[in-house]
Amino acid sequence: MTASRLIIMGPQGAGKGTQAALLASRLDVPAISTGDIFRAHIGGGTELGKLAQSYTARGELVPDEVTNRMVRDRLSQPDVSGGFILDGYPRNAAQVQELDGILSDLGVSLDAVVELVADRAELLARLRQRAVVEGREDDTEEAIARRLDIYAEQTAPLTGAYEARGLLRQVDGIGDIADIADTIAAALDVR
């Protein structure tokens, strides 16, 4: 199986992070979550973390120039040479373009884009539950709604571009975690 340069897309609460991690271990490639990288910087109190926090806490996107540079650096690390799963990037049209540029500079291309599909009512219920369990700073009612709005307005339309390239694989994000992981693997022809 050669599909090892992947994006996993889907609204917050659709189980993207969980599925990215499962798929990454199946494929033995790193899962790269921009949200996790920002949270690590915020936790470490770095300059990047301070800047990111002023956006993440409100559910807004961190400015593209900051995010793009961070992703370019990460994708240039040696452990990514055999493949990667991007979780949470790209999130808008400018980031799609930047990613195309980064990959072309690296001389590689995407193999597939997985979109986890789930409806808003289900997502809201899951995110409220996660807020109780994990206590994420950006899981306030306002920030949750803002993140889902941004996803619907800016991120969901990006799947059209990937579909036109023949890369899109849509998978139902509601159900048993292991079943969804198997469905994703089948959609990617991963054994």
Which residues are bridge partners to 86 per DSSP?
7, 32
Determine which helix (DSSP H) or strand (DSSP E) holds 184, and give its type and residue range. helix 177-187
Q: Are 48 and 78 in contact (CB under 8 A)?
A: no
SS3 27: helix
**Known catalytic residue at 5:** no
| Residue 53 touches ligand AMP, criterion: CB under 6 A | no
Pairing of strands 168-172, 5-9: unpaired
Residue 11 in contact with ligand AMP, rule: CB under 6 A: no
Q: How many residues bind ligand AMP (CB under 6 A)?
A: 17
Measure CA 69 to chain center: 16
Applying CB under 6 A, which of residues 10, 11, 83, 88 lies at the interface with ligand AMP?
Answer: 88
Q: Binding of ligand AMP at residue 84 (CB under 6 A)?
A: no
Residue 79 near residue 30 (C-beta atoms within 8 A): yes
- Under the binding rule (CB under 6 A), the answer on residue 89 touching ligand AMP is yes
Residue among 16, 74, 128, 165 flagged as catalytic: 16
59 lies in the site for ligand AMP, by CB under 6 A: yes
Between helix 120-134 and helix 141-150 the angle, nearest 10°, is 140
Q: Known catalytic residue: 130?
A: yes
Q: Which listed residue (39, 74, 91, 169) is catalytic?
A: 91
Task: Give the binding site for ligand AMP (CB under 6 A).
Answer: 12, 34-35, 38, 55-56, 59-62, 67, 88-89, 91, 95, 138, 147
Write out the catalytic residue numbers: 16, 91, 130, 136, 147
